[in-house]
Structure 1
Amino acid sequence: MGAALTRYRIIAYVVGVVLIMLVVVGMPLKYIWDEPIVVETIGPGHGFLYMIYLVAAFDLGRRAHWPLSRMILVMLAGTVPFVSFYAERVVVGWARAGQREQGQKQEREPVKG
């Protein structure tokens, strides 16, 4: 699960930064100064990166055995500026807590052999 968590963390930050650039820079340029070049350039990139984010969130959620509702909330976090950064921190906490629980469960199970 460690590699899935790392992939998720990286793409969460990338999607968050690109979304902020799109909303903070691109949207004002397009709607205030009638310069759509940033939106036209960054928008499709964000869409592609968001699809990768969805796959990474699903993969992590599947490996961590999250309920579907949690997975959906994490996936939606990539659509709101700044929320992906907060969600990334929360997800890391969930994943590490799950790893600790699994490690404790393995310690309690008798070794077969």
Structure 2
Amino acid sequence: MLKFFKGIGYLEAFSAIALFFFAMPMKYIFNDPIWVTHIGRAHGALFVLYMVLVYILKDKYNWSWKIFLIFFVASIIPGGTIWADKRLIEGKRYNS
């Protein structure tokens, strides 16, 4: 389950970066909004899935609210899910 969570976290981070640094410039500089529609939809779905998984894993692994909030805040920051994965999952600090 943690491997799936990690994968979704990486995809969510990549989709956020693609949205901000590719799709939005395509919309506002080159007047091509279709990229924001598709990448934004994918990013939204990945964000929701990530948050559902954070909630499920909180119960499964008995995470504290502090760990839950770290994962939540990390999901808002572009690339933050990668940082959270490296810091908490790979560092085995998610039981704190």
Match of 1:28 in 2: 25
Tell me the distance in 2 between the aligned counterparts of 1:24 and 1:84.
Answer: 17
Runs of 4+ in structure 1 off by over 2 angstroms are none
Match of 1:110 in 2: none
Matched, 1:80 2:77: yes
TM-score, normalised with respect to structure 2: 0.85
Tell me the distance in 2 between the aligned counterparts of 1:75 and 1:89.
Answer: 15
**Aligned amino acid, residue 83 of structure 1:** G
The equivalences for 1:1-113 within 5 A come to: 3=1, 5-92=2-89, 93=91, 94-95=93-94, 98=95
Tell me the distance in 1 between the aligned counterparts of 2:30 and 2:41.
Answer: 21
Secondary structure of the 1:33 match is: coil
Structure 2 unmatched runs, 5+: none
Which structure: greater helix fraction? Answer: 1
Q: If you compute each CA radius of gyration, which structure gives the higher value, 1 or 2?
A: 1
Q: Deviations over 1:27-66 (max 9, x none)?
A: 1111122211110111111111111100111122222222
What is the aligned length?
Answer: 94
Structure 1 unmatched runs, 5+: 99-113
**Aligned amino acid, residue 53 of structure 2:** A
**Aligned amino acid, residue 30 of structure 1:** K
Q: CA RMSD in A?
A: 1.7
Q: Identical aligned pairs, as a percentage?
A: 28
TM-score, normalised with respect to structure 1: 0.74
